[in-house]
Amino acid sequence: MPIKALSVTGLRNLEPATLNFSSKINILYGANGSGKSSLLEAIYLLSLARSFRSTKIQTLIQHEAAETVVFAQLVASSEHNTNKIGIKRSRQGEFEIRINGENIKTIAQLARALPLQLLNSDSFLLLEGAPKLRRQFLDWGVFHVEHSFHSQWSRMQTSLKQRNSWLRHAIMDRQLLASWDKEFCAASESIDQARQNYIALLKPVFEQTLESLIKLPELSISYYRGWDKDSSLQSVLDNGLERDRILGYTQAGPQRADIRIKVGGHNAIEILSRGQQKLVVCALKLAQGYLLAQQMQQQCIYLIDDLPAELDKEHRKALSRLLEELNCQAFITGTDKETLLEGWQMDTPVAMFHVEHGRINLVE
Ligand SMILES: Nc1ncnc2c1ncn2[C@@H]1O[C@H](COP(=O)(O)OP(=O)(O)OP(=O)(O)O)[C@@H](O)[C@H]1O
């Protein structure tokens, strides 16, 4: 659901502000260091309770402030009943999350209420980065379309931790290991099934989205589940037990899953230019937004940091078309106002904000 109004206090260099946004395109322009990415961080905090720049919450909180508070009023919708989200994070690490005025305990509830995608220089490393990044990408989608996924994922993580801890014990209680294996395999099978289902839905949407951005007919995307596709996880665990004991961790399972992107049989990162890789990432992330709208009638918010630095004019225009088609809310930053204003259709609602020394002003 789009954000109608946002209040921010105590976040990086931003002055306390209450802002009204367009439910479609929001452009934030200003000099380097003015606070554009900080505003994106404020929105990101609302969805994930953390920063996208650092794992340390202290760096996000304004110097000398004790806490940061972000509050959003969402555009009302008949399908979803969340209309207010607020988060407070203190320097000591305490946090308070409120949805519709009620305290909530898990970040999963927050993420579900405000699905959000970030496109910045780090997220463009999706193809060349570690498999963990691609698993996070995949699980973002599965989490939003398959509501039982989160509990299966937690179950898998708990049993995996227990299993790994038992693997490191000098004397191993085989019975106990068997019981953790059973739990781990059951959760893993359902995670794998949910991921397979999601990839099957995502693939055609991704191919169509990519086609609108760039022609890469030989590009293919496939899913690796983390263990041999023709064997049961239990048999793979049994066969690998001695090696797992030597290593002290479980080698096979959904914690090793990956998405493989190839061009003509080669790993995409060995063939594609950096710009082409960024377009593939854009197509992947936009496809997730399309799928979310299709499957759950829910709109995803896009945060796109420094767009002109990432894509050339022609591809920025193609991306603008897709965002318009998706009918989503987007926050797009850059240093040059004119460049950011290019390429939108006449009837697209575009709100423009000038960011200067932490002050954000709507440009009428
Ligand atoms: N905890 C903090 N408290 C106060 N100011 C901070 C804090 N952390 C960072 N800053 C400052 O906030 C400013 C805003 O940075 P931000 O990354 O939001 O700018 P930007 O407009 O996105 O810049 P660029 O175009 O260079 O990416 C920077 O000058 C930075 O030094």
The answer to whether the annotation marks 35 as part of a ligand binding site is yes
**Percent helix, strand and coil across the chain, each to the nearest 5:** 45, 20, 30
Whose CA is closest to atom 17 on ligand 1? 37
Of 297, 316, 339, the position where a domain reaches its end is 297
* 326 and 195, same domain (yes or no): no
What whole-number distance in Å separates Cα of residue 205 and Cα of residue 286?
9
Segment 127-171, tens digit of pLDDT:
999 999 999 999 999 999 998 999 999 999 999 999 999 888 767
In terms of C-beta density within 10 A (0-12 exposed, 13-18 middle, 19 or more buried), how is residue 319 classed? buried
CATH number at residue 226: 1.20.1050.90
Mutate to test the pocket of ligand 1, among 12, 32, 58, 361 (most ligand atoms within 8 A of CB): 12
What whole-number distance in Å separates Cα of residue 154 and Cα of residue 255?
12
Chain center to CA of 3: 17
- Interface confidence, given as ipTM, is 0.98
Which pLDDT score is estimated for 105?
87
If one counts the domains in the chain, the total is 2
Q: Tell me, yes or no, whether 79 lies in a domain.
A: yes
What whole-number distance in Å separates Cα of residue 295 and Cα of residue 201?
10
What whole-number distance in Å separates Cα of residue 226 and Cα of residue 351?
44
Beta-carbon neighbour count of residue 94 at 10 Å?
A: 10
What whole-number distance in Å separates Cα of residue 189 and Cα of residue 280?
29
* 78 and 144, same domain (yes or no): no
Distance from the alpha carbon of residue 74 to the mean position of ligand 1, in angstroms: 26
Q: Are 309 and 315 in contact (CB under 8 A)?
A: no
Q: Tell me, yes or no, whether 190 lies in a domain.
A: yes
* 136 and 147, same domain (yes or no): yes
CB-ligand 1 contact for 30 (6 Å cutoff): yes
Q: Which residue has the tokens 């976040």?
A: 11
Which pLDDT score is estimated for 76?
81
Q: Tell me, yes or no, whether 252 lies in a domain.
A: yes
CB-ligand 1 contact for 33 (6 Å cutoff): yes
CB-ligand 1 contact for 309 (6 Å cutoff): no
- Classified as helix, coil or strand, 53 is coil
Mutate to test the pocket of ligand 1, among 36, 59, 64, 357 (most ligand atoms within 8 A of CB): 36
Distance from the alpha carbon of residue 348 to the mean position of ligand 1, in angstroms: 30
Q: Which residues of the chain have pLDDT under 50?
A: none
* 166 and 276, same domain (yes or no): yes
Dihedrals φ, ψ of 184, to 5°? -60, -45
CB-ligand 1 contact for 12 (6 Å cutoff): yes
Which pLDDT score is estimated for 80?
75
Q: Are 250 and 163 in contact (CB under 8 A)?
A: yes
Which pLDDT score is estimated for 202?
98
Of 297, 313, 337, the position where a domain reaches its end is 297
CATH number at residue 8: 3.40.50.300
What whole-number distance in Å separates Cα of residue 349 and Cα of residue 22?
7
* 260 and 246, same domain (yes or no): yes
Which pLDDT score is estimated for 171?
73
The answer to whether the annotation marks 267 as part of a ligand binding site is no
Which pLDDT score is estimated for 170?
64
What whole-number distance in Å separates Cα of residue 21 and Cα of residue 221?
36
Which pLDDT score is estimated for 181?
94
Q: Are 353 and 43 in contact (CB under 8 A)?
A: no
* 134 and 283, same domain (yes or no): yes
* 339 and 312, same domain (yes or no): yes
Segment 299-318, tens digit of pLDDT:
999 999 999 888 999 999 99
The answer to whether the annotation marks 7 as part of a ligand binding site is no
* 269 and 177, same domain (yes or no): yes
Q: Which residue has the tokens 């990956």?
A: 258
* 3 and 140, same domain (yes or no): no
Of 297, 325, 354, the position where a domain reaches its end is 297
CB-ligand 1 contact for 64 (6 Å cutoff): no
pTM: 0.95
Domain limits at 363? Answer: 1-115+299-364
